């Protein structure tokens, strides 16, 4: 019971980070009418009445479920400035929020960026011209670096999850990390890995206050470390989310102007298919719904051609999909 309660508290912290970011950005979005007009919506999902058998029971798609993909992009320029149809923005952080609007609950699926999936290759007009089998993070590199790339990543996640619909998305570039970090006056962490040769001030086991690019180094780096797997980096990212949440809540309580200041400075780092009002509705759900434990897909990692690859376990995928996206007939 204690372990389950602790897991729920952690989930609330992680989701609160997404909630906090959305709140910070909403004020700036009000000034971006042109930006909003450019954003499209995913086509509505057609009802699926066909029953599927799983573990001896028949299931149908749960029409009350809505999913929202959050991506942390590995890039170093403003998201809205890139107009090319091939880009170098990889989705290093991926979390799928699954809302059950009938049961009033939300579950998060933390997706490993190294997960091997089929993804679409896109042409100059954003159309599908083929497929390729690569790490999930690379799906975002196909497209214009904005809505087209986000949709392509959402499609890849959909394929990973046996074709269930990923309804909406929000991406934020990783170079927003030092901006928010310094707006908070620095963020304190106990260093989990040895960064010798990368940043000698980050010594394993020591408690430090991260500033500027050092914060990005801490949450982004994996190559050059003793354990270069993304699983280890995900532990650091979760730790940092906890710390930034605590600092963020404190700043909001102390400074009434902090949200306005942060929203203006972070606006250029965001792409979403949701309007301001729709993002506000999302925040209401996050605050009102029951928050369950964080899910993740089990599998195996291995190095191939010098790159880390994560191969998801099919049974683990099925368990998550039928638990969150289907209901017994």
Confidence of residue 201 (pLDDT cuts 50, 70, 90): very high
pTM for the structure as a whole: 0.74
- Per-residue model confidence as pLDDT tens digits over 173-199: 888 889 989 999 999 999 999 999 999
Contact 27, 310 (CB under 8 A): no
Separation of alpha carbons 200 and 45, rounded Å: 50
327 phi/psi in degrees, rounded to 5: -140, 150
Q: Which long-range contacts (CB under 8 A, 24 or more apart) does 3-10 make?
A: 4/293, 7/293, 7/294, 8/291, 8/292, 8/293, 10/238, 10/242, 10/294
Residue 103 has pLDDT above 70, yes or no: yes
Residue 209 has pLDDT above 90, yes or no: yes
Residue 25 has pLDDT above 50, yes or no: no
Mean pLDDT of 220-238: 86
Strand partners, 326: 61
- Per-residue model confidence as pLDDT tens digits over 42-95: 444 455 558 899 999 999 999 999 999 999 898 644 444 444 456 788 998 899
């Amino acid at each position: 019971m204690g372990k389950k309660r602790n897991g729920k508290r952690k989930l609330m912290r992680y989701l609160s980070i997404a909630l906090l970011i959305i709140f910070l950005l909403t004020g700036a979005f009000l000034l971006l009418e042109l930006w909003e007009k450019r954003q499209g919506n995913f086509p509505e999902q057609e009802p699926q009445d066909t029953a599927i058998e799983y573990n001896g029971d028949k299931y149908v798609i749960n029409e009350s479920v809505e999913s929202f993909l959050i991506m942390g992009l590995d890039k170093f320029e403003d998201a809205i400035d890139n107009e090319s149809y091939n880009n170098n923005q990889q989705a290093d952080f991926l979390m799928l929020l699954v809302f059950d609007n009938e049961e009033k609950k939300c579950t998060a699926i933390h997706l490993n960026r190294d997960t091997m999936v089929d993804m679409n290759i896109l042409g100059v007009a954003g159309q599908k011209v083929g497929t390729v089998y690569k790490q999930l993070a690379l799906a975002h590199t196909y497209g214009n670096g904005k809505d087209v790339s986000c949709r392509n990543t959402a499609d890849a996640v959909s394929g990973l999850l046996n074709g269930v619909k990923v309804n909406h998305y929000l991406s934020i570039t990783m170079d927003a990390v030092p901006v928010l970090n310094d707006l908070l006056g620095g963020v304190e962490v106990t260093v989990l890995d040895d960064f010798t040769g990368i940043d000698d001030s980050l010594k394993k086991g020591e408690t430090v206050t991260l500033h500027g690019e050092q914060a990005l180094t801490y949450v982004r780096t994996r190559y050059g470390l003793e354990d270069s797997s993304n699983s280890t980096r995900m532990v650091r990212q979760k730790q940092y989310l906890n710390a930034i949440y605590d600092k963020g809540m404190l700043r909001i309580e102390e400074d009434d102007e902090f949200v306005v200041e942060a929203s203006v400075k972070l606006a250029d780092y965001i792409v979403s298919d949701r309007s301001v009002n729709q993002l506000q509705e999302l925040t209401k759900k996050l605050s009102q719904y029951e928050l369950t434990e964080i899910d993740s897909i089990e599998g195996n990692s291995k190095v191939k051609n010098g790159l880390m690859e994560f191969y998801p376990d099919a049974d683990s995928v099925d368990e998550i999909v039928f638990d969150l996206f289907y209901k017994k007939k």
